[in-house]
Structure 1
Amino acid sequence: MSEEVYPLAVLIDELRDDDVTVRVNAMGRISTIALAMGEARTRNELIPFLEEAAQEDEDELLVVLADELAKFVPLVGGPEHAHALIDVLSSLAGCEEPTVRQAAVASLNDIAREMSADQVNEHYVPLLRRISTADWFSSRMSAAGIYASVVAKLGPNDDLLGLYKDLVTDDAPMVRRAAATALPNVIEALGKVQLTGTIQEMFESLVYDDQDSVRLLSVDVVVALSEALRENGKPSSDELVAQTLALLSDKSWRVRYMAADRLEQLAKALNSDEKLPRLVGQFVTLCKDGESEVRSAVAKHVVGFAQNLDPAVVLDEIVPAIEPLVTDPSEHVRESLAGQISYLSVLLGNEKTIKHLLPLFLQMLKDEHSEVRLQIISNLQVINEVIGIDLLSQSLLPAITELAKDKQWRVLLAIINYSPLLAEQLGVEFFNKELVPLVMQWLWDPVWAIRDAAAQNLVKLTDVFGVEWLETIILPKLVVHDPTANYLYRFTSLMVVKTLVPTVSSSALQDPVLPFLLSFSEDSVPNIRFNVAKALLQVAQALVAKNTPNAQSVISESILPVLEKHAEDVDVDVRFYVAEALTQINELVAGGQEMQA
């Protein structure tokens, strides 16, 4: 067999293998094979073979084929020969399997972007005419996803837009859904070119479609259409606003949910003195919607919607509308609102926040659902910047205390991670009095993730309050060795102090940290003894790094003798970590001696 024929022959054999994995792997190498065969043979031999392979019934293999073909433009001779790939991909675009169709459409779009306008007009327009009118719905669905790339190259084309309109009004709902999904991309592809009446007609058809699965997709269309009109210097028409309001009040809750979830974008797209107020009334209605999912979606976009409004409108219309949501029966609605309500304070300012929002904040801080309280506390800095912490502290502390006892460890973890920011806001005096007991309590939590986070939290709090705070307030509570305490208590106290070694000062390292660590060296549990070895290594490194004057003597007189004693420990793990610590400390000591010399 000649060297020229060999790569294709191997590919053919592997693609006929009974093992699907072999066939898929072979298909993933077709780019390499094409490179070996050269451009002409790829077009004349490999591509026809791949057209036959496209009839394969293994979807996984067809997805790989579609993906690989997107890389083939340079392998077939550049954009002028890229049309050779279209037939294979159009065949894949007609498959029933969605993943295959999506991969084929993506590759067809990639190839179109590399071709010139004349090439697209010559090869893609006939393709769109053919698959847009194909008998099988899958081809028509794929056609919808290709129009944007073609329109971007050719500009407005009444013929193409007419074909697309047929897809928007297709008998098959799945085709109309595909057309609705892709229409925002077509609108974007038209750019600043004057939008035709055909686009408006398509949108109107989608808004009043008898399938709610189609109507809900028209929400993204109205956003794209309104933004395009604004970029063209044209305001949204009254008709477009009316259709937007129709979506927000649709009989299907799924459509109302989608519209509510895009409320912020709709507000920005329709933002004008005349039209935006018409959305305010609908916002109020959505806050009273019978479906909790819709109310939750509205609550998530309160601030995004309100920031487009006059503060007086926010105070008179928006705040009264969200007040009932503070006590909504659905915890998801309350949680969504809790994540947003703090930011309304920025829009209203100090005086109005204290009068109108502060009661809502305080009420949500007492919510029975921990996630609601957590959302308020997590955004506390925003409120603090507007009104100060004093007005919140009376309700803040009970809420934090309750969260600190929450049964969900993830909630407690979030509170721990937030406590350094809370410390900045509360100040050291208030924090020491009210929250230090909680900080210490977290260190002994049954969940390891909480204990670990609590130890790291002490380091972060030190960044806020300083090393002196750590050594005078926290460290004395930790360096108390009770040999009769249970293993978990001993191990936790050891690990917490070990975590703080790089943070404390040189003097605190020597006393009380080092004596505390040495008191564990004879512990009966090997796990504790080898962690002592790790901790002693850290102490030695910290003493040297902090340029401690007597570092060498402390290491030689206090640390090394203990480690050397355990070099022959009965436990293999202890011996390993002791040996590792001795090696690194000896290198450290030797390096220090060389520097002194």
Structure 2
Amino acid sequence: SSLRTFKGRFTQNENSVIISFQTSSLFSFLYRAAQHNASAVCSGSSRSKMAGAEGDDSLYPIAVLIDELRNEDVQLRLNSIKKLSTIALALGVERTRTELLPFLTDTIYDEDEVLLALAEQLGSFTVLVGGPEFVHCLLPPLESLATVEETVVRDKAVESLRKISQEHSPVDLEVHFVPLVKRLASGDWFTSRTSACGLFGVCYPRVSSTVKAEIRQHFRTLCSDDTPMVRRAASSKLGEFAKVLELDYVKSDIIPLFTALASDEQDSVRLLAVEAGVSIAALLPQEDLEDLVMPTLRQAAEDKSWRVRYMVADKFSELQKAVGPEITKNDLVPAFQNLLKDCEAEVRTAAANKVKVFCESLPEDSRETIIMTHILPCVKELVSDTNQHVKSALASVIMGLSTILGKDNTVEHLLPLFLVQLKDEYPEVRLNIISNLDCVNEVIGIRQLSQSLLPAIVELAEDAKWRVRLAIIEYMPLLAGQLGVEFFDEKLNSLCMAWLIDHVYAIREAATCNLMKLVEKFGAEWAQNTIVPKVLGMANDSNYLHRMTTLFCINALSEVCGQEITTKHMLPVVLKMSTDQVANVRFNVARCLQKIGPVLDSSALQAEVKPVLEKLATDQDMDVKYFALEAISGMYLFNLPTYIFSETFSFSSILFFFFSFSLSP
């Protein structure tokens, strides 16, 4: 055990066992109190022994947890740390402050998983140390954790420090918390200085003017630190810090720091400055933006590093909202054009994702002109981009332009682009177009849509490459839901039925699943009138593969169509097919009956299904017999136990039944 040796003596009065200590060690106390059986060393009444034993039992679990804090097994230490609140609760607030927290502070040299759990636990320890009055006691262990090498541990420690900073009074904040921030900010090792960057913003608003000046000075120092990691941390928190500063200090202190960080030699620092620039722009009056922020942001949009340009593109809509309509027209429109034409695919992808939002936020009086003159030519180039991610990003938003440009512009300029993307070689591009057809439908109407885009969809549905046909089938339920049942019946129903007799099995299988999804969208009544008659008509097809497809469709449709349609329309066809000349059809009949059995009522099972399965169980073909017996064993689960005792069953068939039933899940 890692616990220190306990030295103590035991005395006894008539009611209880009294333990006195020669050491105040928390761990000695808990360990020995839990381990020592007072009744073994003290004589007296049974009442005294019981009191001592009860005291030991209550302390034992806590002693085990504390002992595990020093265990060699990492998992045991981790488990104990996660139950730290239990230990603190058992010890009480005073001993937690005076003994547990110093112990934790002295032992912050452990595996990263343990330290991460400790940093998280301490963030919710305020109540366990006595409330806000004593919350500063949590600062020493968290300060140590904020200086460790592992980034995730430092981040979690900073998160906990930010959390408990709100529970400090203004006086305690200046006496305890601000000195901690200063120590971290002036630490020798870069890890402490990076952690300090995340703490300035939470303490600045509630301290005196003198302390505020010191905090601003420390932040300025970190922004020009020699270590790139520190400058990166400062750059990431610049926008947050600017939000809590007075406007005059934003102009005098933050703007120079922003300019310097946006020109840093490290692109990882510059790209984080872009996000800070968006936050700063939202704080400044309109008249100051052009002089103080826009030159730096224009420079970032043309930065030599694609990562910086990517960040500008990614934050473009937020930037547009922050700077207002005039600067958007004069500065952001040309910058956005350049980003859409960028030489790096990642930048073009980020910009393409913002096309719809950018166009929606343009000034209403000049929106259409700007889009048609400046944005649409770039969009036309992106439609045939060499990178699939760029085209996919554009396809996910381009349909939204139709609601902005109106019917005439959509028909003349956007529909040709939709057609190109609908025939794109990459399935994700096609899916993004089909997924947003409802946007175009609202603007140009279903008739115009059917005349322009539907022929392209039909053409793809009949493509010579089966994988292309398969892709269209997968989109069909989505397309049907957007176009409505009437339009679907008129234009696409026959196409869906044609897929059921495709020469490729994967297409027939996908078409079967497609029918089930369509019934889920349009309802059982629609299925009864439109789909079911055509499916059942295939049962008389001369091609046995098509007859088998009928059975597969019944398997899929029975559950969504319900008991009435299945019993009245589908079951007679299945039973009739049990006499088919092809064995493959007959054993699929047995499988089909097993599948639809739970949907049927008991009278239909007994009167119609039972005789057919019994007959199939005596079939000459071994596969038919096997699947019939398997179906019977399945039927046993829904009240058909008498099947197995039929006179038509041989002794071996009965044994087979019991064997199958015993192995069934």
TM > 0.5 fold call: yes
Find the aligned partners of 1:404 and 1:113 in 2 and give their Cα distance: 64
Query: 1:185 corresponds to which letter in structure 2?
Result: E
Assess if the C-alpha contact under 8 Å between 2:617 and 2:626 holds in 1: no
Assess if the C-alpha contact under 8 Å between 1:563 and 1:578 holds in 2: no
Query: 1:557 corresponds to which letter in structure 2?
Result: A
Q: Which SS does the other structure have where 1:501 is aligned?
A: helix
Q: Note the 1:406-421 alignment, pairs <5 A.
A: 406=467, 411=471, 414-421=474-481
1:27 positional shift: 1.4
Any idea what the Cα deviations from partners look like across 1:167-210, whole Å, max 9, x if unmatched? 22211111111112222333345599984531222211221111
What is the aligned counterpart of 2:404 among 334, 347, 354? 347
1:146 positional shift: 1.9
Residue 293 in 1 paired to residue 346 in 2?
yes
What is the aligned counterpart of 2:78 among 14, 24, 34? 24
Structure 2: where are the runs of 5+ without partners? Answer: 1-31, 34-55, 619-624, 642-665
Q: What residue number does 1:557 align with?
A: 607
Query: 2:278 corresponds to which letter in structure 1?
Result: V
Q: 1:401 to 1:298 in 2, by over 3 A?
A: farther
1:126 positional shift: 0.6
Find the aligned partners of 1:528 and 1:427 in 2 and give their Cα distance: 31
How many residue pairs align between the two structures?
566
1:6 positional shift: 5.3
1:441 positional shift: 5.0
Q: Note the 1:5-154 alignment, pairs <5 A.
A: 9-56=63-110, 58-151=111-204, 153-154=206-207
Q: What residue number does 1:167 align with?
A: 222
What is the aligned counterpart of 2:454 among 393, 412, 417? 393
Query: 2:153 corresponds to which letter in structure 1?
Result: V
Assess if the C-alpha contact under 8 Å between 2:496 and 2:511 holds in 1: no
Q: Note the 1:126-275 alignment, pairs <5 A.
A: 126-151=179-204, 153-154=206-207, 157-189=212-244, 195-229=250-284, 236-275=289-328
Assess if the C-alpha contact under 8 Å between 2:466 and 2:504 holds in 1: no
Find the aligned partners of 1:303 and 1:9 in 2 and give their Cα distance: 62
What is the aligned counterpart of 1:445 among 506, 530, 547? 506
Greater Cα offset, 148-157 or 349-358: 148-157
Find the aligned partners of 1:135 and 1:287 in 2 and give their Cα distance: 45
What is the aligned counterpart of 2:381 among 324, 329, 333? 324
Q: What residue number does 1:537 align with?
A: 598
1:396 positional shift: 3.3
Query: 1:476 corresponds to which letter in structure 2?
Result: L
Assess if the C-alpha contact under 8 Å between 1:132 and 1:163 holds in 2: yes
Q: 1:192 to 1:418 in 2, by over 3 A?
A: farther
Residue 432 in 1 paired to residue 485 in 2?
no
Any idea what the Cα deviations from partners look like across 1:363-396, whole Å, max 9, x if unmatched? 2223233322222222111112212313322333
Higher Rg: 2
Q: What residue number does 2:558 align with?
A: 501
Q: Which SS does the other structure have where 1:216 is aligned?
A: helix
Find the aligned partners of 1:473 and 1:277 in 2 and give their Cα distance: 63
Assess if the C-alpha contact under 8 Å between 2:551 and 2:588 holds in 1: no
Find the aligned partners of 2:230 and 2:473 in 1 and give their Cα distance: 47
Find the aligned partners of 1:273 and 1:267 in 2 and give their Cα distance: 10
Q: What residue number does 1:548 align with?
A: none
1:264 positional shift: 1.6
TM-score (norm 1): 0.84
Find the aligned partners of 2:504 and 2:207 in 1 and give their Cα distance: 66
Task: Quote the sequence identity (%).
Answer: 34
1:325 positional shift: 1.3
What is the aligned-residue RMSD (CA, Å)? 3.6
Q: 1:146 to 1:576 in 2, by over 3 A?
A: farther
TM-score (norm 2): 0.76
Find the aligned partners of 2:269 and 2:630 in 1 and give their Cα distance: 64
Find the aligned partners of 2:398 and 2:119 in 1 and give their Cα distance: 47
Query: 2:289 corresponds to which letter in structure 1?
Result: S
Residue 460 in 1 paired to residue 520 in 2?
yes
Greater Cα offset, 560-569 or 255-264: 560-569
1:88 positional shift: 0.2
Assess if the C-alpha contact under 8 Å between 1:323 and 1:360 holds in 2: yes
1:583 positional shift: 7.1
Structure 1: where are the runs of 5+ without partners? Answer: 541-551, 585-597
Find the aligned partners of 1:24 and 1:350 in 2 and give their Cα distance: 63
Q: What residue number does 2:567 align with?
A: 510
Q: What residue number does 1:593 align with?
A: none
1:446 positional shift: 7.2
Find the aligned partners of 2:117 and 2:158 in 1 and give their Cα distance: 13
Find the aligned partners of 1:199 and 1:403 in 2 and give their Cα distance: 63
What is the aligned counterpart of 2:331 among 261, 273, 278? 278
Find the aligned partners of 2:560 and 2:65 in 1 and give their Cα distance: 62
